[in-house]
Structure 1
C-alpha cells in the first residue's frame, strides 16, 4: 500500500503538487521582476542601480532552481533570455566606466554577467 498522499511523489521538500505550485509562483515572480526591469527606464539597469543588481540575482536564483530539476520551475524561452542579455549588457557597457571600476573588476564582472545569462539560456534550451 502506498504511504504517500495523492500529489506527493517523494519525501523531499519539493516533492509535491503544492511545492511545485509554490515554485511556479516564485519563479513567475522572479521573471515578472526581470521583465519589468527590462521594459522600464534603462537607467534602472545601470550597475549601481537597484535593478542593475537585482536582475542578475534573479537570474542566478532561476538558474539554481532550474538546475535542481524541481517540478514547477519555469523559465522564459531562450530567445527572450537572449534579448534580456543584450539589453542588460548594453546598458552595463554604456554605464560601467562612469563608476570608475578597477580594470580587473570590470573584466571579472562582465564574465560573470555573461556566464549567468548563458547558463540560464542553456537551461531554457534544455527544458
Structure 2
C-alpha cells in the first residue's frame, strides 16, 4: 500500500479506513431516509442522528482527504426534502418557541446545503473521491 505523506490520512490504508467510516455515515442516513418517516421526527433518534451524520460527513469531506466519500448532491437534496417535510409537519407538536423553531430550521437547511455543496465541489475535481 502506498504512502504519500506523513499525515494521518496520507496513505492507502488511511484512505480505505476513511472510506469505511464515511460509507457507514452515508448508509445510516440512507436507511433512515428509506425507513418509517416517524423515525425522522425531531424527537426521534434519527431526527437527531441524521443531521449529526451529515455534519460529520461535511467536516470530514471538507478536509479533502482521499477516501472521504459522499453521496451525490442530488441525493443530499432529496434527503433534505424528505427530512424537512417530516420536520415541518411534526415540529409544532413539540411546542417549541418560535425562535428555536426558526433557528433550528435554518441550521438544518444549512447542514444539508453544506454537504450538497461539498459533494458538488468534490465531484467536479479530477481524482476526487467519487460521489455515490
Superposition TM-score tier, normalisation by shorter sequence: over 0.9
Task: Give the superposition deviation at 1:92.
Answer: 0.3
Task: Give the superposition deviation at 1:61.
Answer: 0.3
| Uncovered stretches (5+) of structure 1, i.e. residues with no partner | 1-5
| Uncovered stretches (5+) of structure 2, i.e. residues with no partner | 123-132
| Residue 41 of structure 2 is aligned to residue 25 of structure 1 | no
Aligned mates of 1:49, 1:93 — CA distance in 2: 14
Equivalent residue number for residue 124 of structure 1: 119
Q: CA offsets, 1:78-126, max 9 Å, x none? A: 1111000000000000000000001100000000000000011111111
| Residue 54 of structure 2 is aligned to residue 59 of structure 1 | yes
Correspondence for 1:39 among 15, 34, 43: 34
Give the length in aligned residue pairs: 122
Equivalent residue number for residue 110 of structure 1: 105
TM-score w.r.t. the length of structure 1 is 0.94
Aligned mates of 2:75, 2:85 — CA distance in 1: 15
Aligned mates of 1:21, 1:65 — CA distance in 2: 14
Runs of 4+ with deviation above 4 angstroms = none
TM-score w.r.t. the length of structure 2 is 0.91
Q: RMSD across aligned C-alpha pairs, in angstroms?
A: 0.7
